[in-house]
Amino acid sequence: MIRQQDLFIAAPIYANGKLKISSVLIANRGEIACRVIATCKKLGIATFVVFTDADSNAPFVKLADKAHYLGDPESQPYQNGELIIEIAKRFGADAIHPGYGYLSENADFAAAVGSAGLVFLGPSPQTIAALGDKREAKEFLAARSSVPLVPGYGGLDQDPDLLEKEADRIGYPVMIKASAGGGGKGMRIVHSKEDFRESLQRCTSEAGRLFGSAHCLIEKYIEAGKHVEMQIFGDGETAVSFLDRECSVQRRNQKIIEESPCPWLSAEMRQDMSNSALEIARLLKYESAGTVEFIVDIKNERYYFLEVNTRIQVEHPITEEVVGIDLIALQIYVAGGGKLQAPPQLQDIKQIGHSIEVRLCAEDPFHDFRPCTGTICQLKTPLDSKSEDCAGLRYELGVERGSAITVHFDSMISKIIVWAPTRAMAIAKMIRALKNTVCFGLTTNQVFLQRILASPHFHDVSYTTALIPQNMGELTAPLDTASVDSSTAIAALEI
């Protein structure tokens, strides 16, 4: 990574002349495994990974100090907490980093890690359990905090007749969402009473299949809404806010472009949202990294709590870039007993410049975002040229030339992150990075991302989660008649 300045890395904690955490097993794969390994290497910490047939030659396997074969990916071995803990003990690991997804927000797994004498690099099992279910989390906050909540219903009585009456009371449009869901799954927007029953049936079916619980919430759907989140960090005593990320560019309720800071937020609202996030962190004596998600109604300029992700977030690099702190290193520091009041770098957090992240995925936006599989036969980034334009450019890759994108895992090829002094410069830099990234062998969303970034809809900072669905015709127009000209946009931005 090349940046204007290096990230601050909290020094690891020692006891009796030895590192308290000298080795970490990463219970994950792909780019997040590579990301954790990179920081551990800087800290002198050994890394162990687990892999399946699909990843036998993956970069994270080569980068780790030791790797253990898990078997066939169809058996979902990354969900087998008992096996992962057994392997960690066999390696002699001190800690387990769960990454994101898989077991990262599984309270039982976090507890089992601690019971095995290992350190879980994340929040306490009690915190994960308290926040893991959306219904229970909202009940907890409604009773104990002043954090604003979206009007809705989350009761245990799930009779369809009652749920329909609650939707009528709340007023359409409403959002049906799985209480135990996440990642954009188990969610349906319902615009009218006539569509409610069918949407409810689909949502409960998906929730039961994916999350083991069919329980759903009914909430008022904020039509002109922004998805803004706050990065929090705690050590059990002190809580710190690393401020906001704008995550409204989504397809199928999943983010594909994020930026920090959110250019629409006023200083007053940013501070209010940060205070709400810190109120939650202090209530729970939060430990490690977490993200408090909010929906912002831009019509009445009010924000509402959505959920807390009790893990490191996919888009954490843009926060790292604007605040200058390595969040993975901070997880290790806190897990080893470090206190957030100690490092002076954490005492006055400010966002400097602007950072944007895009998710380069193997999917076809021109055919309903259909996932695409295949082998990457060529992969080059601007970093390979080591040009001056590489300053402020960062790639979080989990693949390389020859890597296969399969049906077994997420379709993300790389996160591309830029930092620049201003938003306009960051947009221009990202468009250049995308145009100069070569990924052959399978279909990707590369052109689609360029079009969004060059679009006037993205330049208007009041854009909402409706940006993609409302402009799909323009964003997916045939290449020779597209209304968005990236080169023109770059010229306009570089004034």
Alpha-helical segments (H) within 246-339: 267-283, 316-323, 327-335
Which has the closest alpha carbon to 373: 399, 403, 404?
404
Instruction: Please give the helix or strand (H or E) that residue 304 lies within, else none.
Output: strand 302-309
The residue type at 154: G
Residue 178: CB atoms within 10 Å:
25
Which residues make Cβ contacts (< 8 Å) with residue 297, sequence separation at least 6?
222, 224, 225, 303, 304
Which has the closest alpha carbon to 273: 318, 328, 226?
226
Looking at residue 298, the DSSP 8-state letter turns out to be T
Task: Mark whether 432 is an active-site residue.
Answer: no
Query: Is the backbone peptide bond immediately before 261 cis, with ω within 30 degrees of 0?
Result: yes
Choose, from 29, 135, 251, 311, the residue flagged as catalytic: 311
How far apart are the C-alpha atoms of 188 and 200, rounded to whole Å?
8
Count, in order, helices (H) and strands (E) of the chain: 17, 25
Q: Which residues pair with 257 in a beta bridge?
A: 249, 358
Residue 156: Cβ-neighbour burial (10 angstroms; 0-12, 13-18, 19+): exposed
Instruction: Please report, for residues 76, 113, 281, the alpha-carbon distance to residue 286 in angstroms, rounded to integers and kept in the order given.
Output: 30, 18, 5
Instruction: Please report, for residues 104, 419, 424, 454, the alpha-carbon distance to residue 491 in angstroms, rounded to integers and kept in the order given.
Output: 43, 19, 11, 11
* Active centre residues (catalytic): 311
